[in-house]
Amino acid sequence: MESSQLEHILNTNYSKKYKGSIQYGTAGFRTKADVLEHVLYRMGLLAVLRSKVKNAAIGLMITASHNIGSDNGVKLVDPAGEMLEATWELIATNLANVEDSNLIFTIKQIIEEQNVDMSTEATVIIGRDTRESSPTLLNAAIAGIQALHGIVKDFGIVTTPQLHYLVVCTNTNGGYGEPTLNGYYTKLSKAFKCIRKNKINNGLYVGVLSLDAANGVGAIATKEFNDYLAETITINMYNDGLGELNHMCGADYVKVQQMPPATVPLKPKVRCVSIDGDADRIIYFYLDENDKFHLLDGDRIATLVAAYFKELLRESRLSFQLGLIQTAYANGGSTNYISNVLQIPVVCTSTGVKHLHSKALEFDIGIYFEANGHGTVLFKETVIQTIKNTIKDPELSMIEKTAVSKLLNIIDMINQTVGDALSDMLLVETILHEKGWDITNWEKMYKDLPNKQLKVQVSDKNVITTTNAGRQCVTPKGLQEEIDKVVSKYEKGRSFVRPSGTEDIVRVYAECENSSDLNELIVNVASLVY
Ligand code: NG1
Ligand code: ZN
């Protein structure tokens, strides 16, 4: 392709004014919204090229998840709903940072190096969260897509997992579900209702919960979803969009601060959930009779789900290989419980769902959750087929048949494309309902080690590099030895530091047996980072 054929892509409305460099990180580009317009334009261009290479629709989501309202971001979604392939992350970073004078050359280079057939049709499926800056950034992305003659399918304001769902459904011609929001709500709610059979309460389980929607897009989705779920569960929503996005609320705030969100009225033992700004994370919490806060995070959800699958497989007499994927942030109490009590293999990967997701694909049924509540369950296609064939077996006993039929509904209830707060919530509610458990029964499965996270501001976070799934520092030289020395003083002590991929900070994590030691431990480790 001649450069002259690309001249029209130079659009002065989206020229690069930002002087700093920006990186496609753990969750795409994420930074102050006002420096992102040229990035969105260029990601529009790139999404078209990616779509042509894959000969399939590509997703483009405009969100900064749990970040403050003035931030924004963009990530591309590959055809099967997974995060953008790693080599293209580098291409994206380069494209976002080149000067305008090099834009045509860079696009030409991508076309040549990736063998892009420019005659292939391209489709980009777009979604955005509720941020004020999102419409402007949307226009920039659309301009980029149209500059390379791509087809835009704009689904407006949707949650991140809804966007992933829409991409997969589009690329499978409806095989995964109908590629509309109605299709999404119908698929999930139908499976939920099928297992629950209109019985709202069961034993100690009461079908009422409070939901903190982080004043984000999850509030809109929850309102819409409620119409499909009516009479099977009552969701009382707070932080429903009128307040400030992610401000003193949402899953990240509750998890990191280990305290309830502001403005959610709390009654003892009432199940509460917090989702994040783009509704791909969920955590549970409650207050006890003494107003003590109890958190049930992603690790708790993972263990509940893993134990449930183990039970269903035993009852159905199906033998599939179960695996559970965590990151370094998983509480040692949960890892111990999964390996020693549930006896399910556990794998630890680097932070960021793409790492967990790809590892989970290696198991017949791969359950993955980050401690912050981001996760889902993946089933191999052969597993789904076997389950579908088994249900037709006339020899099945009643117990086997019930378990197999539950498995089939659970598969439909789970958004396998990515962690999904609303789908995960239905899964947890289904399991608690079935067991007749209240939230304290669930919490009794195992004991969390007291734990804490800190954010440390440093002049250059990238001075710290890590290995072993982020658990050990490689540079600066000597830092890991210093950390080890501190940690060795505490019973069941564990601590690590790593640069965040989404914020300009270094994260410090620590856990140990005695809560009275925790502050000292984490402060001592954090002080090594300054
Ligand atoms: P970083 O900022 O790289 O730690 C955070 C979360 C990840 C993941 C991404 C994407 C923690 C400790 N880290 O990544 O788990 O969710 O954001 O949103 O929660
Ligand atoms: Zn999120």
pLDDT in tens, 85-107: 999 999 999 999 999 999 999 99
pLDDT bracket for residue 199 (50, 70, 90)? confident
Q: Which of 510, 477, 433, 509 is nearest to 207 (CA)?
A: 433
Question: Which atom of ligand 1 is nearest to 453's Cα?
Answer: 12
pLDDT of residue 486: 98
pLDDT in tens, 367-379: 999 999 999 999 9
d(CA 437, CA 442): 7
The size of the chain, in residues, is: 530
Question: Which atom of ligand 1 is nearest to 503's Cα?
Answer: 2
Structure tokens at 241: 């969009």
Q: How many CB atoms lie within 10 A of CB 462?
A: 11
- What is the identity of the amino acid at 59? G
- Between the CA of 65 and the centroid of ligand 2 the distance, in Å, is 4
Q: Is 94 helix (H, G, I), strand (E, B) or coil?
A: helix
**Atom 7 of ligand 1: nearest residue by CA position:** 352
Mean predicted confidence (pLDDT) in 230-251: 96
**Atom 11 of ligand 1: nearest residue by CA position:** 372
Rounded to two decimals, the ipTM of the complex is 0.98
Say if CB 400 and CB 319 are below 8 A apart.
no
In the set 65, 134, 189, 316, the catalytic residue is 65
> Sign of torsion, CA 440 442 448 452?
negative
From the CA of 246, the nearest ligand is: 2
**Pocket residues for ligand 1 (CB within 6 Å)?**
26-27, 65, 329, 351-352, 370, 372, 374, 500-503, 507
d(CA 318, CA 387): 8
Mean predicted confidence (pLDDT) in 299-315: 98
- Between the CA of 326 and the centroid of ligand 2 the distance, in Å, is 17
| pLDDT(416) > 80 | yes
Question: Which atom of ligand 1 is nearest to 505's Cα?
Answer: 2
pLDDT of residue 315: 98
From the CA of 27, the nearest ligand is: 1
**Atom 9 of ligand 1: nearest residue by CA position:** 352
From the CA of 63, the nearest ligand is: 2
From the CA of 352, the nearest ligand is: 1
Mean predicted confidence (pLDDT) in 9-19: 93
- What is the identity of the amino acid at 318? L
Alpha carbon separation from 209 to 10, 66, 105, 420, 497 (Å, rounded): 51, 22, 55, 18, 35
Per the listing, tokens 């960021």 go with: 352
Mutate which of 29, 283, 424, 502 for ligand 1 pocket (most atoms within 8 A of beta carbon): 502
- Between the CA of 220 and the centroid of ligand 2 the distance, in Å, is 15
Mutate which of 500, 504, 509 for ligand 1 pocket (most atoms within 8 A of beta carbon): 500
- Between the CA of 70 and the centroid of ligand 1 the distance, in Å, is 18
Q: What angle do CA 60, 61, 64 make, to 5 degrees?
A: 145
pLDDT of residue 504: 85
Residue 65 bears catalytic tag: yes
pLDDT of residue 27: 87
> Sign of torsion, CA 37 41 43 47?
positive
| pLDDT(1) > 80 | no
Of 6-10, 151-155, 430-434, 451-455, the range with the lowest mean pLDDT is: 6-10
Q: Which of 279, 276, 273 is nearest to 297 (CA)?
A: 273
Say if CB 512 and CB 518 are below 8 A apart.
yes
Structure tokens at 162: 């809804």
**Long-range Cβ pairs for the range 237-240 (8 Å, 24+):** 237/210, 237/211, 237/213, 238/210, 238/211, 238/212, 238/213, 238/263, 238/264, 238/265, 239/212, 239/213, 239/214, 239/215, 239/263, 239/264, 240/213, 240/215
> pTM for the full model?
0.95
Helix axes 298-316 and 421-435, enclosed angle (nearest 10): 60
- Between the CA of 159 and the centroid of ligand 2 the distance, in Å, is 9
Structure tokens at 464: 């710290």
**Atom 5 of ligand 1: nearest residue by CA position:** 502
Which residues, chain by chain, have CB under 5 Å from ion ligand 2? Answer: 65, 276, 278, 280
Structure tokens at 285: 């919490």
d(CA 94, CA 110): 10
- Between the CA of 178 and the centroid of ligand 1 the distance, in Å, is 30
